[in-house]
A and B are shown apart, each in its own frame.
Chain A
């Protein structure tokens, strides 16, 4: 499973998400949408909005799942924690 998160440096929920993943020892790829318009456009294509964080599991595959916002319950369920 791959995990991509789209975030900004000033977003508290993004920080919480990253701390959550770090504590679960889960690797992820981070995309800073405040610095990259390309990442911002990509994030919009996934979530359809401008909220961060956006978490994309298995990006680009048939099993791709997208979640907007920091939701520990959703993470535990989808990451089998």
Chain B
């Protein structure tokens, strides 16, 4: 049996090291070549590869089945180890808790409780982000999408691109470049949150994928550089090496296909030719947008509005301001005091423009009430029609 290469992740320093898994021995200990600390296999694992690598060792893969007396011996050994470790060794770190999902996230660093990071069902990239999106002309797309179906529209320079939710629902992330600017189109069907970000962080352009994990029922993206997890609704890395780093929100509008056809005939429309076999004419979430169900547990349930009420959100330095979208569409104009700033929001032909006291236009995004209110109980300001 040839030696199998595996990537070990040191639980102490997070460095990645490639080692061959021996074919006639176990490696219950390993000295990190970077930090020099000795890694021990986790309780119950035969080797460090089973505990801290992307590959289960061949012995475990082959389904090695010991005899009953040996099981008893192992159980006794476990008890002895448990007693031993509880007295002598710090608890093994959680750094590989996401490995089962295929993620290499450094969970030593996090700004949210790790127990609130939940499996959404699919593994990492089980919902495939679009990395090389194709576009079609609006005229060619006319027969492809329902007129009243929504999507997100982005304009950079003279280029206008429209990303229908019917496609985003199946991919959640599009890594795109518009006129040389890297942009990140994101949509979380569970939160109705449609947010466009600049993909650059600290001058580094990041590619993103869908982690398969959720935080407060919201999409956790991962960046392909560090595999840190990023909360979409917060636009911030919450687990991993990039914890605390933030994405910049870009201007976007949520419009129906009919509205885009009327106002932006030059728009390029995301093509259904994604390279993935999906039925983009049917939503896998049924009537989720209207019903009362939130599929995954959340920690705050603010009863002021229906949990799925759609809000338009703008962040200032001090506050996050949520405008009740339906009210804003009806009244056409709203004024919200956000600390020392006054925001004026105006809607016209379903497009929303928000400006601050300095008459600067602020980028915003859309999300269901429950998803925004979880995070803004302290700094949140809510506007609704008087």
- Contacting residues, chain B, for A8 (C-beta < 8 A): 26, 28, 46
Task: Output the least CB separation between B228 and chain A (Å).
Answer: 30
| Segment at the A interface, from B76-84, B259-267, B299-307 | B76-84
Q: Given that A34-B77, A34-B81, A35-B81 are contacting pairs, would A10 and B25 also be in contact in the complex, using a CB cutoff of 8 Å?
A: no
**Interface contact B30-A50, CB-CB below 8 Å:** yes
Q: Is A9 an interface residue (CB 8 A)?
A: yes
Closest to A40 in B: B29
- Chain A interface, number of residues (Cβ within 8 angstroms): 21
Bound: A52/B57 CA distance, A: 14
Bound: A69/B47 CA distance, A: 13
**Interface contact A12-B26, CB-CB below 8 Å:** yes
Q: Is B203 an interface residue (CB 8 A)?
A: no
Q: Given that A8-B46, A9-B73, A10-B45 are contacting pairs, would A70 and B84 also be in contact in the complex, using a CB cutoff of 8 Å?
A: no
Q: Is A14 an interface residue (CB 8 A)?
A: yes
Q: Is A13 an interface residue (CB 8 A)?
A: yes
- Contacting residues, chain B, for A71 (C-beta < 8 A): 24
Bound: A15/B66 CA distance, A: 8
Q: Is B141 an interface residue (CB 8 A)?
A: no
Closest to B77 in A: A9
Task: Output the least CB separation between B79 and chain A (Å).
Answer: 11
**Interface contact A11-B80, CB-CB below 8 Å:** no
Bound: A13/B59 CA distance, A: 8
Q: Is B358 an interface residue (CB 8 A)?
A: no
Q: Tell which of B31, B70, B81 touches A15, judged by Cβ atoms closer than 8 Å.
A: B70
Bound: A12/B27 CA distance, A: 11
Q: Tell which of B38, B74, B84 touches A10, judged by Cβ atoms closer than 8 Å.
A: B74
Q: Is B117 an interface residue (CB 8 A)?
A: no
Which residues 1-50 of B sit at the A interface, judged by CB distance below 8 A?
Answer: 22, 24-31, 38, 41, 44-47
**Interface contact B59-A10, CB-CB below 8 Å:** no
Q: Is A57 an interface residue (CB 8 A)?
A: no
Bound: A51/B20 CA distance, A: 12
- Contacting residues, chain A, for B47 (C-beta < 8 A): 11
**Interface contact B29-A50, CB-CB below 8 Å:** yes
Q: Is B87 an interface residue (CB 8 A)?
A: no
Closest to B43 in A: A10
Q: Given that A10-B77, A11-B28, A34-B77 are contacting pairs, would A51 and B45 also be in contact in the complex, using a CB cutoff of 8 Å?
A: no
Interface flags, A39-65, vs B, CB<8A=1, else 0: 010000000001111000000000000
Task: Output the least CB separation between A70 and chain B (Å).
Answer: 5
- Contacting residues, chain A, for B45 (C-beta < 8 A): 10
Q: Is B378 an interface residue (CB 8 A)?
A: no
Q: A10-B26, A13-B24 are in contact. List 6 more A-B contacts (CB 8 A).
A: A8-B46, A10-B74, A13-B59, A50-B30, A51-B22, A52-B28
List 18 A-B residue pairs with CB atoms under 8 Å apart, sorted by A's residue number. A8-B46, A9-B74, A9-B77, A10-B26, A10-B44, A10-B77, A11-B25, A11-B26, A12-B66, A13-B24, A35-B77, A35-B81, A50-B38, A52-B25, A52-B27, A69-B25, A70-B25, A71-B24
Q: 3 tightest A-B contacts by CB?
A: A9-B77, A69-B24, A69-B25
